[in-house]
Amino acid sequence: MPVAVPALVPYPRSVSPQDGAPFRLTPDAAVTGPTDAVADLIEAIAARTGIRLTAEADARINLDVDGHGAPESYRLRVDEHAVRITGADAAGLAHGIRTLVQLLAAGNAGWTLPAIQIEDAPRFTHRGLMLDVARHFFPVEVVTRLIDHAAALKLNVLHLHLSDDQGWRLALSSRPELVERAAGTSVGGDPGGHYTAADYRAIIAHATRRHMTVIPEFDGPGHTHAVGLAYPELAAAPTITPGVLDAVREFGGGTPAAGTPYTGIAVGFSSLRIGTPEVAAFLADVFGELATMTPGPYLHIGGDEAHGTADADYAAYIGGVTRLVTDLGKVPVAWHEAGAAAAPGTIGQYWGFVHAVTGTAEAAETTARLREFVRGGGRVILSPADAVYLDMKPRADAPLGLTWANGPTSVERSYRWEPSRAVPGVRESDILGVEAALWTETIRTREDVDAMVFPRLASAAEIGWSPAEAPERTWDGFRTRLAGLGPGWTAAGIGFDRSPEIPWGEA
């Protein structure tokens, strides 16, 4: 009997269940194809089922790459006798393998795959996850594991937020004092940490194996208190706004003071001393070295919440840094505030709300800024905070997380939004993609990361990958399919949030 709707997330472009018996996965099935993909499939199937296939020319599971179709697309066919996955490229083949793993079902006949034909391709080019390693630091193993689980949902970008008021997290040989003096602590006085150049290479190598691009971010001109610990002459005195005092009252951590590590969670008080030759030399060193260390096309320059920077200085900074990055041969990415000042071609990252983009003066300004990126030939990454900020509490009584983005973000809210309707005047073709973000003010451990990222990352994954209009693209359809991912997540040791919105069953 054909399976009605298989538990696939993100849902593929076209799924055709076939009549006919399922494929029984037995240890003698064997697999053939490109070496990396064969190894990937063997590992993924072993992790899920305990069955370790062998690589043999005469195999019943065939993998190949044929160069036909959109980037990252694939075709998958299963019948009683054989499985074939054909990728347009190596990334497409890897996505097909992830789909195959989601199709595996355990029953009386052991592990089987339903007879099925799937044709699939992503809706958006950019499907990302941002991890803030500045508010709390996470070691390489946590990051590589997250890469694996994000790639399983067909994400293809890892954005690392590598610096903030609380710490600088990447060693640079041009500026060794940054990690010597500004990486020792995290929010709440927790231990800090940093990546060596070798660690950074290891993260990139792992991401590359998973067909993911790493985008590193050095945030400025705000979010730079830590820079002043290493180089006092580069930092302006903290600007203590009423908003900063409110945050100090609500969350503690003390008032930021120059030269002292900051362990609270207020934002918007720090600024580089723009216009000085020292700052210009610093930025040239930092972005120059980062460009050399990073094989991917993008460098993120931050640009958010610079409340301690005068408008003219802010514009000068954004213009200068985005030109610097462009001259280094990379494409700059910036938070949406930077729109009016960024060099042509800069990608804008939107972090406003899904539903608050009309009406207020601030919303109108944000919209105008996003259009500026597009006018300059850049595109837009959508990270609406009340849908894809994974640091928002999943429920009011959840132990971890913040609530500023319009209260808690349920799984349903993380799923119910449509990119092409998020920002007036930003059309489908202006959108590079979707990126979920895990800020880590309240997130301290790998277990915390799991509990906040899963299951809501799956919503962002489906919104970034799946076609907008499909019968399965409903909240009810999604929550049922999402429940089907539970057993695989449990087998992989992911401590996901067992949200009561999802019919998890025994998984």
| Min separation Cβ 133 and ligand TNX, Å | 12
Q: Which uninterrupted H or E stretch holds 451?
A: helix 446-453
| Min separation Cβ 438 and ligand TNX, Å | 9
Cβ count near 125 (within 10 Å): 16
| Min separation Cβ 351 and ligand TNX, Å | 4
Sign of the CA dihedral running 105, 108, 109, 111: positive
Q: Is 325 in the site for ligand TNX (CB under 6 A)?
A: no
Q: Is 402 in the site for ligand TNX (CB under 6 A)?
A: yes
Of residues 184, 175, 285, 276, the one with CA closest to residue 234:
276
Q: Is 137 in the site for ligand TNX (CB under 6 A)?
A: no
**Bridge partners, residue 436, by sequence:** 129
All residues at 6 or more sequence positions from 281 whose CB lies less than 8 Å from its CB, including other chains:
none
Q: Is 333 helix (H, G, I), strand (E, B) or coil?
A: strand
Interacting residue with ligand TNX among 391, 448, 472, 497 (CB under 6 A) = 391
Q: Is 262 or 351 the residue whose CB approaches ligand TNX more closely?
A: 351
Active site residue 217: no
Interacting residue with ligand TNX among 40, 79, 89, 304 (CB under 6 A) = 304
Q: Is 314 in the site for ligand TNX (CB under 6 A)?
A: no
Site string for ligand TNX, 89-118 (x = CB under 6 A): ------------------------------
| Min separation Cβ 482 and ligand TNX, Å | 24
| Min separation Cβ 404 and ligand TNX, Å | 6
Q: Is 351 in the site for ligand TNX (CB under 6 A)?
A: yes
| Min separation Cβ 304 and ligand TNX, Å | 3
| Min separation Cβ 441 and ligand TNX, Å | 6
Q: Is 335 in the site for ligand TNX (CB under 6 A)?
A: yes
Q: Is 7 or 134 the residue whose CB approaches ligand TNX more closely?
A: 134
Q: Is 31 or 385 the residue whose CB approaches ligand TNX more closely?
A: 385
Q: Is 267 in the site for ligand TNX (CB under 6 A)?
A: yes
Interacting residue with ligand TNX among 79, 89, 305, 462 (CB under 6 A) = 305
Q: Is 138 or 465 the residue whose CB approaches ligand TNX more closely?
A: 138
DSSP letters for 172-229: -TT-THHHHHH-SB-GGG-B---B-HHHHHHHHHHHHHTT-EEEEEEEESSS-HHHHH
**Is 90 buried (19+), middle (13-18) or exposed (0-12) by CB count in 10 A?**
middle
In contact, 245 and 254? CB cutoff 8 Å? no
- For strands 31-32 and 61-65, give the pairing: parallel
- For strands 105-107 and 110-113, give the pairing: antiparallel
**Is 502 buried (19+), middle (13-18) or exposed (0-12) by CB count in 10 A?**
buried
Half-sphere exposure at residue 190, Cβ-oriented, CA atoms within 13 angstroms: 20
| Min separation Cβ 14 and ligand TNX, Å | 36
Q: Is 269 in the site for ligand TNX (CB under 6 A)?
A: no
Q: Is 218 or 389 the residue whose CB approaches ligand TNX more closely?
A: 389
Q: Is 165 in the site for ligand TNX (CB under 6 A)?
A: no
Site string for ligand TNX, 428-447 (x = CB under 6 A): -----------x-x------
Q: Is 389 or 504 the residue whose CB approaches ligand TNX more closely?
A: 389
Q: Is 389 in the site for ligand TNX (CB under 6 A)?
A: yes
Q: Give the span between the Cα atoms of 433 and 255, in whole angstroms.
A: 37
Q: Is 63 or 381 the residue whose CB approaches ligand TNX more closely?
A: 381
Of residues 440, 438, 420, 439, the one with CA closest to residue 430:
420
Q: Is 441 or 501 the residue whose CB approaches ligand TNX more closely?
A: 441
Q: Give the span between the Cα atoms of 26 and 150, in whole angstroms.
A: 28
Cis? peptide before 232, omega within 30° of 0 = no
| Min separation Cβ 402 and ligand TNX, Å | 5
Q: Is 314 or 439 the residue whose CB approaches ligand TNX more closely?
A: 439
Q: Is 168 in the site for ligand TNX (CB under 6 A)?
A: no
What number of chain residues touch ligand TNX (CB under 6 A)?
A: 10
Residue 427 structure tokens: 């059309």
Given the residues 217, 305, 372, 472, select the one marked as catalytic: 305
Half-sphere exposure at residue 53, Cβ-oriented, CA atoms within 13 angstroms: 28
**Is 208 buried (19+), middle (13-18) or exposed (0-12) by CB count in 10 A?**
middle
- For strands 126-132 and 167-168, give the pairing: unpaired
Q: Give the span between the Cα atoms of 84 and 118, in whole angstroms.
A: 11
Active site residues: 305
Judged by the rule CB under 6 A, the positions of this chain that interact with ligand TNX are 267, 304-305, 335, 351, 389, 391, 402, 439, 441
